[in-house]
Amino acid sequence: MHLTPEQREQFDVEGYIFLTDLFDADEMATLNREAHRIFALERTEIVREKDGKTARTAFAAQNYNEAFRRLGRHPRLVAPVQQLLGGDVYMHQFKINAKAAFNGDVWQWHQDYGTWSRDDLMPEPRAMNIALFLEDVTEFNGALMFIPRSHKGGVIEAGHDRQTTSYPLWTIDDATIARLVDEGGIIAPKGKAGSAMLFHCNLVHGSPSNMSPHDRTIVYLSLCHVDNHIRRFKRAEWIAHRDFAPIESLDDDCLKTLEPTP
């Protein structure tokens, strides 16, 4: 898959591209089934909500699940990022965020590169995210919210919030968010499973809690140009990866040829 000049311009100006129907229903059914299988595991890489039971996020699933290993090397995801970043990329972070029905907590307003810069010493914002919807995202189940053009201001001052949720995050204060929204507005992309949001690592984003009876599961691939790899290794390897080898894409049908999990 290759992006059009218009899509590349939108990414530069607005900080994101939203793609619908990137994967079909069968591919999403496979990934969604495997995601919920992962959430039931007892592994260090799986962070729970404050209740200690509900899965919040599963890190590094590509290292212990074949379906997600293949997804992390899927050409429909890797090729557009190579275009936007101008060369080979490696996987800096991989996580499946489970905003569970009724119990899925907020993700506060933040920039991802703010964390990667402060905690991991990633030199430049030559990295980006893909958020792939594994389940339908609606206005009711905790849709992601983005502030368009907020990536243009560079890294924004943030505080390390260790109290609000079960996962510490570098978060942006309310006054700054209000100013950014006045300037760029807010969008909340909604769509069917198989849709994907490609967004700049400095684009400010967050999501509310899920009060609905419907799960909202999204897998995030955070890809970085190989020349821009991190220089500090204080976080666990399953959070901030240390394999800087370029991703080699698989065949386009790699999810369809996966053998069913027994």
What would the pLDDT profile of 188-239 be if each residue is shown by its tens digit?
999 999 999 999 999 999 999 999 999 999 999 999 999 999 999 999 999 9
What does the DSSP 8-state code read for residue 151?
G
174 φ/ψ angles, rounded to the nearest 5 degrees: -60, -40
* Domain boundaries along the sequence of the chain: 7-228
Other CB atoms within 10 Å distance of the CB of residue 53: 9
Helix (H, G, I), strand (E, B) or coil at 99: strand
Cβ–Cβ < 8 Å for 223, 71:
no
Q: How many CA atoms lie within 13 A of 158 on its CB side?
A: 26
* Pairwise CA distance, residues 21 & 50, whole Å: 34
Q: How many CA atoms lie within 13 A of 44 on its CB side?
A: 5
What does pLDDT average to over the chain? 95
225 φ/ψ angles, rounded to the nearest 5 degrees: -60, 140
Residue 102: is its pLDDT beyond 80?
yes
Cα–Cα distances in angstroms (integers) from residue 211 to residues 164, 215, 240, 249, in the given order: 17, 10, 30, 38
* Pairwise CA distance, residues 240 & 126, whole Å: 15
For residue 113, give the H/E element and its range: helix 112-120
45-51 mean pLDDT: 93
Cβ–Cβ < 8 Å for 59, 219:
no
Query: What is the percent of the chain where pLDDT is above 90?
Result: 89
Question: For the domain with range 7-228, which CATH number is right: 2.30.30.140, 3.40.50.720, 3.90.550.10, 2.60.120.620?
Answer: 2.60.120.620
* Pairwise CA distance, residues 196 & 130, whole Å: 7
Q: What tens digit of pLDDT does each residue of 230-256 get?
A: 999 999 999 999 999 999 999 999 999
Closest listed residue to residue 185, CA positions, set 164, 161, 167, 203: 203
Q: Is the pTM of the predicted complex or chain greater than 0.85?
A: yes
Residue 260: is its pLDDT beyond 80?
no
* Pairwise CA distance, residues 226 & 245, whole Å: 7
